[in-house]
């Protein structure tokens, strides 16, 4: 559900950047724009440790994603009310939904 919601928001945001002829800032935290999770090792795998590691990675990325929106994207789009509303919604989703979820599973 979270991934699908983020895909929808990304599509909406991309459309608004196109509408106003703005360049979409590059996400410096991911090479492909997608979350990278640890790969399974060739040794024995502790599923609980692996799950926590994945959640910790997602938590770190969520914190960085919020900073990206707050510091790099919001200043660019604040004069466009429809974009500002969407970014504010994304930031709220991040802080009140995604971050608590991945923080909880990382412990």
CA distance 30 to 39: 16
pLDDT for position 98: 83
What are the tens digits of pLDDT across the range 51-70? 888 888 888 888 888 888 88
What are the tens digits of pLDDT across the range 91-101? 898 888 888 88
Q: What is the pTM of this model?
A: 0.68
Residue 32 and residue 22 in contact, taking contact as beta carbons nearer than 8 Å: no
CA distance 13 to 24: 9
């Amino acid at each position: 559900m979270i991934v699908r919601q983020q895909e929808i928001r990304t599509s909406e945001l991309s459309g608004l950047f196109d509408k106003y002829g703005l360049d979409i800032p590059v996400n410096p935290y991911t090479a492909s724009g997608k979350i990278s999770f640890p790969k399974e090792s060739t040794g024995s795998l502790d599923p609980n440790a692996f799950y926590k590691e994945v959640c910790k990675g997602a938590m770190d990325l969520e914190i960085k994603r919020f900073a990206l929106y707050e510091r790099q994207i919001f200043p660019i789009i604040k004069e466009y009310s429809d974009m500002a509303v969407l970014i504010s919604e994304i930031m709220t989703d991040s802080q009140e939904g995604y971050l608590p979820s991945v923080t909880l599973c990382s412990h």
